[in-house]
Amino acid sequence: MIKILIVDDHQIFRDSISLLLDYEHDMEVVGQASNGKELLEILKTIQPNLILMDISMHEMGGVETSHLVKRLYPKIKILILSMNSEHQNIIGAMEAGVNGYLLKSAGKKEVLMAIRAVTEGSSYFSNEVSVQIVQQLTQVQNPKKVKVGEVLSSREIEVLSLIARQYSSAEIGEKLFISARTVDSHRRNMLDKLGLKNAAGLVRYALENGIS
């Protein structure tokens, strides 16, 4: 059972999402909060598997909240669900360590798919968000392509490319004819080599270096 805590400053949105998720056999909404401060109080007594959170909220927004949650409760997954598609907020959320970012224009099927993917250890960034990230990084940083063997092995770059395209470990294993455990091993090795903390960091590294 995926235990979910919803954080959004609009009661009607929280209630609507809660109702949507209650119909799923593998999901349970265990709490609601209207901002980051309320969330931190709730987390003292309730430990969800995943926090579904807006980015723009009064009192304490999603980026600041994500930084604190990831520091205090590193095992909890965070999936942003927001109307906000501004570059700085998306990049800020990724730097805070969120596991995924969706726009509220996403349909029910994509929201459920993202929740399950993130809970299983993958990252999930909607197509609209990925395009925004690529455009911003290209304009600001003009990244160089990674040369095979320079930092990562050719196999690691293959795995990283599929991670950036939102495939799960099992799906990557099927495509590359290796086990999901081997995929996870490559993932850990890349995090160590690149000095990154999570899958979101890997996605950003892939985008910055033209790996897709």
pLDDT tens, 116-164?
Answer: 999 998 888 887 776 666 555 555 444 444 454 568 888 888 898 888 8
Residue written as token pair 């987390």: 43
Residue written as token pair 């196999």: 155
Q: Which residue has the higher pLDDT, 138 or 78?
A: 78
Length of the chain: 212
Q: What is the DSSP string of 15-69?
A: HHHHHHHHTSTTEEEEEEESSHHHHHHHTTT---SEEEE-S--SSS-HHHHHHHH
pLDDT at 139: 54
Q: What is the mean pLDDT of the chain?
A: 86
The answer to whether the Cα torsion of 49, 195, 67, 135 is positive or negative is negative
Q: How many helices (H) and strands (E) does the chain have?
A: 10, 6
The rounded distance, in Å, linking the Cα atoms of 196 and 84 is: 25
* pTM assigned to the model: 0.69
Coil, helix or strand at residue 129 = helix
**Amino acid identity of 50?**
L
Domains and CATH numbers, the chain: 2-128 (3.40.50.2300), 138-208 (1.10.10.10)
Closest CA to 132 of 52, 212, 54, 204: 204
pLDDT at 30: 97
Highest mean predicted confidence (pLDDT) among 71-75, 143-147, 172-176, 190-194: 71-75
Count other C-beta atoms under 10 Å from residue 141's C-beta.
11
